[in-house]
Each structure stands twice: as C-alpha cells, then as structure tokens.
Amino acid sequence: MPYPKLPEPEPGEVLLICACYEEGRAQWDGVLRALGGRRDGQVVALGDGGVRLRLAEHPEWDYVHGGNFPALVEEGGAAPPVAVVVDIRAVYGGDAVLLVDLRDIPGRGARVPTDGLGPVLADLLVGSLRFDGLVRGMDRFGIYQGDGGTPAVLTPTTVVRASFPPLPATETTLLVRTDFTDDRGWRALVDALGKPDEGSGGPTGEEFYEDVELSALVVDDRRFEHLQPGQIPAVVPPDEHTTMVALADAVTLADPAHPLFVVDLYDTPGQAARIPLAEAASMAVNLEIANMDFADFV
C-alpha cells in the first residue's frame, strides 16, 4: 500500500520521524526526553548548534523501515540531506536513533547516540561531516563513534551507478548477482545453493539448526550490476519486506567458499557483513525469528 508522504521541513530543519506506534499512538516520548532541547509545538531546538527537529508522525508509518523513507519525500521538492527515525530499537533499545541518508545514497542508515545527536546533525547541515563519514565511523552495532569508530566490515560508499529498479518482492532471502564478469563462478554459486548448511549454527558455534538449506529467490539481472550494499534498502519493496538480501559480487564469485555480501535492512540499513555461503542459511533463519541480530554476524 502507498504510505503517506513526509512533510516538507522548513529550511534548516531536520525531520524527526516516529516509526514505532502502539494502538495508533506514537511511542517516542522517552526519546524526546533523552534528546532534551526546547520544544515549541512540533519543533524541538537542540543545544547551541542551531539544529531544529520537526516532529513527524503518522500511524501508517508504524514499522516502516529506514530504507523506505526516501520514497516518501515529496517529488519536486528539495530533498533534505538526512532524516532522523525513531524506530523500535530507538524506543525500546534506548541507545541510538537512526539517521537515514536522503540525498547521497538514499536509504542507507547510521545510528547516533540519542544524547549526542545535536552536534552530529549540526556538522551534517554545514557540510563539515558527510554521511560517508558516519558510515566509516560506525562500530559493529552500526552506531557512529566519530574518529573512534572502526567498522568490522568496510561498506563501500562510492556510487558506481545511481539508479536501480525495485528488487522483486518476496518474504524469503534475495540473492542478487551484482558482478557479471565471472560466469563460471556464478554457476558454481548457484549449484552450491542446493547444499545444506550442516549445522554451522552461526557465529556463536551453537548448533541451533542442522542441515539447513538456504531458501533464496535468485536475481540474475544485469540491471543490478554494481549495486552496492548502501543502495539496497531503498530498492527493497516495503509491502513484502524480505528478511535478508545477499549480494554476489566479484569477491563472492572468485572465492570457493562464496562469501556473500549480506546487507542489514532493519537495525542499520545498508550495513554489510561477509558471510560464507555455508553459514547463510543459519543467518537467514535466526534473523527471521529474531533469535539473533545482524550485529551478531558482523
């Protein structure tokens, strides 16, 4: 179904969007208290940096994922550089809000500690910090740590192609081919899909499942050549949201272990992890039942 469009913020404002509701009521009061600042109607002014947050809520945005918000920006208007999303992790995890890129690579995300949001937004608005810097400064949980952040897996920030069609809608895993220079490696990967994961149990070594076979919708379409992890969240259909998207890039096809480039769609959209094909089925199952988080595999 089509979701309501986002309101257009005034110049200098950043949207603070609620994506967590109970019985139609926005559940962001705790986050607003943690932010502090001075509230005047639907606007919250943060600290001394001149950052103004415009509150935006609609019950139909309940559990809309960060990567889907760029599509809700009104066409023809000037896209703000970033939006702040108060999602279920921000409300009940209490550690960080989600910043969503709306301009450079729309849909990718980075988390920022709630009590440190003001200075980060101020730097983004004046251009002394770019969203690429947020991504490079994240820890393994997707939270921006400034110069102290070191991502466990370096997520590419260079855009090779800027426009991609939507991925197919499915509730299963999507396996998307993004490299078309190695047909032999691709055939070997597809042949290996039918081999079960023999009790790898994920990164903890605990055998939650044995003989798990990866169930995936294979996308072999040159229109997705060079698709990067950060671009994935915005091209996943919002109505039937897949549990996991795995990219088969040049590294995947060249390595006999077929390490897939798996992309987070929920906690920190666009964050990536390298997972051997033999562990991908266990990862998909554990993510689907919320037994483990994406960060457990990073």
CA angle, corner 8, sides to 97 and 113, nearest 5? Answer: 10
96 neighbors 72 (Cβ within 8 angstroms): no
pTM attached to this predicted model: 0.89
Asked if residues 131 and 108 have their Cβ atoms less than 8 Å apart, the reply is yes
What domains does the chain contain, in order, with CATH numbers? 13-148 (3.40.50.800), 173-297 (3.40.50)
Half-sphere exposure of 224 (CA within 13 A, CB side): 24
Walk along the chain (298 residues) and give the pLDDT tens digit of each residue. 689 999 988 888 999 999 999 999 999 999 999 998 899 999 999 976 789 999 999 999 999 999 999 999 988 766 788 999 999 999 998 779 999 999 999 999 999 999 899 999 999 999 999 999 999 999 989 999 987 666 667 777 788 788 899 999 998 899 999 999 999 999 999 999 866 544 444 443 344 334 567 889 999 999 999 999 999 999 998 887 898 999 999 999 999 999 999 999 999 999 999 999 999 999 999 998 888 889 898 8
